Chain A
């Protein structure tokens, strides 16, 4: 059990939380008994009770059940957008990091152009013409995240390329592709695993923002963002509804950001905290 000590309590808790969230996403009905789509005119906008720990919404559905059932789509959006960003960002970053000035400059400028757009505005522009489904959200968020992955992978490639072990691999006649896959890519895992949770947190926040503008997923789908959006009309009479929805997003985003920082420390021995 000694390895557990090395991992640290904070990391273990985060890993456990991550597993719990995935379980909730896969089998929400294990955690809540109420139907998230229930319509019950007798129990509209109730405040918290034993029956409904977080109260009920404007249709009489249990808010906790809605939040728990929305976890799945939220995980899809956060993970999906990051996967798209990786699929675009990693190969283009490797390519730019290995190419001459012309190709590198071209791809890098494209990345700067995408990065230049205020993310929310760009999402509004695209969502307004492509419509709002979970799929378009994943696509757009993934697209605006791609340059962030690209910038990281390009810089890492450039730095690693000059390191002795990569030069050695090249000198021994290992093909460039194999060198990239076996020696360069694994060595940038640390920074990538730091960026990924950060991006996932931002995906949740962008989704919440867009949903608040009415540009989120459409019913019957719902996400934490659209639940927050629907709660905003009732904040005077049932503030608990809005508090529950927003707090869920805040905690999820905060935990993701914290795990990014812990990942940075785990992968970088120089960054390990001096105070124990």
Chain B
């Protein structure tokens, strides 16, 4: 299949998946037992004169219409950038989300920046020193790093570094624009928490790929040609082993965002996680739905782009 046709098909599939994502996000709230108008109004629905308000919400949101019409109205608004307003504060959902994104984005970005080089170094080292003990060591350490609940690891780091040693703040967020030093100090523990998981996942991958690449014929040829070991491993093997990582990181972004939301809760960082959580507690469903939908769409797009980038860069799969 020519590359253009395939790219076109991929994009068509992407659009279809995004559409299904929106349907799922829509249904997740509409399938809820109970009156959606009551849910949307939130605490106000308890007032005595709420009946008029409820009726108004029902017509406004079109709850008296069939589901398919309701979905049409909902998705139409969203495509025009209108995610509705918070039933709590009346602020537009979009602006709430935009304000909550920076801390979460920093967490995810910094974790990727820490984990990628770290996992390449560990993974390639292990692959080039492969034997029974190294093999078992990599497995045990990476399995543990994936098996530790992030929320718990965060707590342990706080107990150790903030409570016992008192060297790092136990939580909170400082904008890098206001105080870069404070920003870094506040980010160290949460980023470390997230990076333990991500480094575990990526190290496994680099180790498997690296072991594979080092067994290839061209590596043996390079050895026979007398190319120094350092050049072989760093220049030849690492490049080939690490390229597919672009896709893996893209796939892991979703998991990472989910973990970031949890880690934010541990460290009291006012990002997307805090917004989601406070909205859930306030029964502010518009905000929950909007935030989950936007995050998911971004995650899907990042995954798609990283896959495309990988194909452009790596001639082995761009056939």
A interface list, Cβ under 8 A from B: 109-110, 112-114, 116-122, 124-130, 201, 205, 208-209, 212-215, 225, 228, 232, 235-236, 239, 242-243, 245-246, 249-251, 253-254, 257-258, 261, 273, 275
Contact = CB atoms under 8 A, between A and B. Distances in A.
B159 A124 contact: no
- Interface size bracket, B side: 35 or more
Interface stretch (B43-51, B92-100, B229-237, B253-261): B253-261
B24 A117 contact: yes
A130 B34 CA distance: 10
B300 A116 contact: yes
B255 A118 contact: yes
Given A118-B261, A121-B296, A257-B147, 13 more contacts: A112-B13, A118-B299, A124-B261, A124-B276, A124-B288, A128-B279, A128-B283, A205-B147, A209-B150, A232-B155, A246-B152, A253-B149, A257-B143
Interface in B241-295: 254-255, 257-259, 261-262, 265-266, 273, 276-277, 279-281, 283, 285, 288-289, 291-292, 295
A212 B17 contact: no
A257 B158 CA distance: 27
B131 interface: yes
B94 to A, nearest CB: 17
B292 A235 contact: no
Given A114-B24, A250-B149, A258 B296 contact: no
B146 A257 contact: yes
A110 B20 contact: yes
A125 B295 contact: no
Contacts of B39: 129
Q: Interface SS of chain A: helix, strand, loop or mixed?
A: helix
B159 A235 contact: yes
Contacts of A275: 131-132, 135
B148 interface: yes
Given A109-B16, A110-B20, A130 B149 contact: no
Contact of A254 (B144, B151, B291): B144
A94 B214 CA distance: 37
Contacts of B258: 118-121, 209
Contacts of A212: 149, 151, 262, 265-266
A254 B16 CA distance: 37
A166 to B, nearest CB: 27
Contacts of A113: 17, 20-21, 23-24
Given A109-B17, A213-B262, A246 B24 contact: no
A119 B261 CA distance: 11
Which of B13, B31, B147, B289 has the largest number of chain A CB atoms within 10 A?
Answer: B147
A139 B158 CA distance: 33
A118 B159 contact: no
B53 interface: no
Contacts of B150: 209
Nearest to B30: A129
B25 to A, nearest CB: 7
B88 interface: no
A213 B17 contact: no
A246 B299 contact: no
Interface in B122-137: 131-132, 135
B68 interface: no
A242 B296 contact: no
B195 to A, nearest CB: 17
10 contacts: A113-B17, A121-B292, A121-B296, A122-B24, A124-B276, A128-B279, A129-B285, A235-B155, A242-B156, A250-B147
Q: Lowest 6 CB-CB distances: which A-B pairs, in order?
A: A246-B152, A120-B258, A113-B20, A254-B147, A275-B132, A253-B147
A210 B25 CA distance: 19
Contact of B163 (A205, A209, A236): A236
Nearest to B36: A129
Contacts of A130: 32-33
B242 to A, nearest CB: 23
B130 to A, nearest CB: 10
B261 to A, nearest CB: 6
Contacts of B23: 113
Interface string B98-130: 000000000000000000000000000000000
